[in-house]
Amino acid sequence: MTEQLRLMAVHAHPDDESSKGAATMAKYVSEEVDVVVVTCTGGERGDILNPRLQGDPEILEHIHEVRKREMDQAREILGVKQEWLGYVDSGLPEGDPLPPLPQGCFGLADVDEAAGRLVRLIRSFRPQVVTTYDENGGYPHPDHIMTHKITMVAFEHATDTEKYPEAEFGPAWQPQKLYYNQGFNRARTVALHEALLARGLESPYAEWLERWKESNRPERTLTTHVPCAEYFEIRDKALLAHATQIDPDGGWFRVPLDLQKEVWPTEEYELARSLVDTSLPEDDLFAGIRDNA
């Protein structure tokens, strides 16, 4: 190889990088791939989900700084670089009818302007592979959906020097592949659920599967299964670094690691764009790129 491999993972909030594709990133870091996480918002409007920290006035008053510190810790654990895109969290609107999004939030950002910020990072970092969310955001949070929108624009137009002039955004660069994170897929959930029940253990997935059935949500195409079981401990440590967002006694950690490694030792992706030849299914995000790097 004459050029280092580089991976950019674009996420909506601090903690998303640790719950979606973290073991994959840790694996590639161990292989000396250069990995950067782009975090679109500061997570300022995220609820405090750890019961031990709920109601803490110091955290509530300084939530932006707290979540930044948590992100710093997770970044160090994963061994990745990290960049903030600089937007304010939209919050997750609830109610019927849904309330309007708060002014100035990421969900209301101008798509081309926000994509331009990402183009600048793409041209600077020069990733061959970019990961993000599908058109549904993985789940319909306005920041996840906006993350999808701007990543698609940035991937398609990072070489467009008329739309994003070199003088302002740096020399053009074209990533070769774009993937959607699909770690929360039905096949994995069913496999872990059934394995837990077969061992006489309680499953945290029963309600998930019931809601899945009721939603009639179509299956996504899982094109790429990255073997990364030996990095699950690093994934979990990074996730726990986001202490305001993760209940250490919650469902995330109710499936024994040895069972996870045995039953489902991979993380899944959907190949959305590829400018190189590759054969599906894949076991490597850089399939079709390594030989040409």
Spell out the domain ranges in the chain: 6-185+220-288
pLDDT on residue 49: 87
Helix (H) or strand (E) segment spanning residue 178 = strand 177-181
Pairing of strands 34-41, 6-11: parallel
- Reading the block at residue 86, the tokens are 């600089």
Peptide bond into 99 cis (omega under 30): no
Contact criterion met (CB below 8 Å) for 270 and 180:
yes
Q: Which amino acid is at 206?
A: A
pLDDT on residue 1: 45
Is 144 marked as a binding-site residue?
Answer: yes
The string of pLDDT tens digits covering residues 151-167 is 999 999 999 999 999 99
Is 141 marked as a binding-site residue?
Answer: no
| DSSP line for 32-52 | T-EEEEEEEE--TT-----TT
CATH 3.40.50.10320 fits 6-185+220-288, yes or no: yes
Q: How many helices (H) and strands (E) does the chain have?
A: 11, 7
Taking the chain (293 residues) in runs of 10, the rounded mean pLDDT of each run is 86 97 98 98 91 87 94 98 98 90 97 98 98 93 98 98 97 98 96 97 92 84 98 98 93 93 98 97 97 70
Is 225 marked as a binding-site residue?
Answer: no
The string of pLDDT tens digits covering residues 26-75 is 999 999 999 999 999 999 998 888 888 988 888 888 999 999 999 999 99
pLDDT on residue 2: 54
Kindly tell me the sign of the dihedral angle through the C-alpha atoms of 269, 272, 274, 279.
Answer: positive
Whole-prediction pTM: 0.96
